[in-house]
Amino acid sequence: MKKVCSVILAGGEGSRLGILTAKRTKPAVPFAGKYRIIDFALSNCVNSGFMDVMILAQYRPHSLIEHIGAGGPWDLDRELHGGVRIYTPYRSRELADWFVGTADAVQQNFLFVKDRRPDVVILLSGDHIYRMNYRELVNAHLAAGAAATLATIPVTREEAPRFGIVSVDDGGWARSFVEKPKDPPPGDASMGVYCFDYEVLDRVLLEDHLDPESSKDFGKDILPKMIARGERVFTWPYRGYWRDVGTLDSYWEAHMDLLSDPPAYDLNDLGWLIHTRSERRAPARIGAAHLESSLVTHGCVIESGATVVRSVLGPGVRVASGAVVRDSVVLNDTVVQSGAHLERAITDKRVTIGAGARVGGPGEKLAVVGKGSEVPPGFVVHPGGEVAHDVEGGDLVGSEVPDGLSVYTRRRPWEIPVGRRRS
């Protein structure tokens, strides 16, 4: 078997996730109660038998670095052969700066790829939810004798402008690649999963680096140019579950996928476990409450008389008697006090929802409350309203946050208690 190096691109700011990425990079955003988004790409590497992993981080990497640590939960705490390493932008005597695009991120760290002496390099996005055996991708790449291979998935014409669209001939070879087209041509979407021969990747990265007109991106520059000049770029169609959780709506929808019957993505597949760094918490304690079609993680306390329906509760969430949580994603250590009502809502870590308060409601729009914020008793955050991180009662004017309004804290960072700054 060829030697494979896996490179996970995890530097994205994730601005479309709004206040969920105000204090952390998108791959470090919690998902499905106990995981982080990056756990899925990282677990795919390990489950595929690829134990040599590089993670390229940039925007607010602290939470990601703390979560990965030495890689123990993924059996990647290795010194001599393989293991996981995290690389961030650095200054040197030569020209080096913040990563400009995905290709620039790999180019700036390519010496570390060379140190591993791989035959094949797979490039992965660290912010998608899916289960994939990368070994099958690599085998298809080698069998085709391709210079590069990209995984593709069908999308509707309405979804296509969000992705790179690949036109493919009958033999599976790419004939065109257009990144996020306004008027998409027929074709499948690129999943942001690429497989390159090492020598080819070395060559095209250097060419791109020396091109002053390039935006230094695989989807915008490198792959379209390779296809246009007739290089052998193969496609590998993927037909399993895959979700780009780059927006608040898609993040919420991916959680609801876990709660369907049967689930669109089954986390209980023992043949392909998603590994993570779990918090050490007591088992969940549930009183005489009403629970329906939900995920409840360790450390949760759901009191008698509470109602939780089609929701995901992260570690340490407390739902008091008389409170209702419906169609919502509630992250770690949030407290929902008596009589409070959450519906189609997302609350980040350590949020307090006061007694009788309402966050969200029926309809299509989501209500969002940021990390460490407090919604006072009786207060209303309407669907489409947002309360940013570290907001307290004094920051809120009146008795409601209407649709389309985002409320931010008036305090300076040094005025916020230290315990609330962690991500």
CA distance 311 to 347: 12
The CATH number of the domain holding residue 374 is: 2.160.10.10
Pair (232, 290) in one structural domain: no
pLDDT tens track, the chain, 423 positions = 789 999 999 977 778 888 999 889 999 999 999 999 999 999 999 999 999 999 999 888 889 999 999 999 999 998 777 899 999 877 665 655 677 788 988 998 898 999 989 999 999 999 999 999 999 999 999 999 999 999 999 999 988 998 999 999 999 999 999 999 999 999 999 999 999 999 999 999 999 999 988 888 999 999 999 999 999 999 999 999 999 998 999 999 999 999 999 999 999 999 999 999 998 899 999 999 999 999 999 999 999 999 999 999 999 999 999 999 999 999 999 999 999 999 999 999 999 999 999 999 999 999 999 999 999 999 999 999 999 999 998 888 889 999 999 998 887 775 677 654 446
Whole-number CA gyration radius for the chain: 23
Domain boundary among 223, 241, 259: 259
For 65, residues 6+ apart whose C-beta sits below 8 A from its C-beta are 57, 86
- Domain annotation covers residue 280: no
Structural domains counted in the chain: 2
The CATH number of the domain holding residue 62 is: 3.90.550.10
Pair (330, 402) in one structural domain: yes
Pair (15, 148) in one structural domain: yes
- Domain annotation covers residue 268: no
- Domain annotation covers residue 233: yes
Pair (77, 173) in one structural domain: yes
Pair (305, 364) in one structural domain: yes
- Domain annotation covers residue 117: yes
Pair (50, 180) in one structural domain: yes
Dihedral, CA of residue 387, residue 392, residue 395 and residue 400, to nearest 10: 50
The pLDDT assigned to 13 comes to 74
Instruction: Tell me the whole-structure pTM to 2 decimals.
Output: 0.93
- Find the domain containing 67 and state its range: 4-259
Pair (73, 184) in one structural domain: yes
CA distance 35 to 241: 17
Pair (49, 144) in one structural domain: yes
CA angle 123, 113, 178 (to 5 degrees): 30
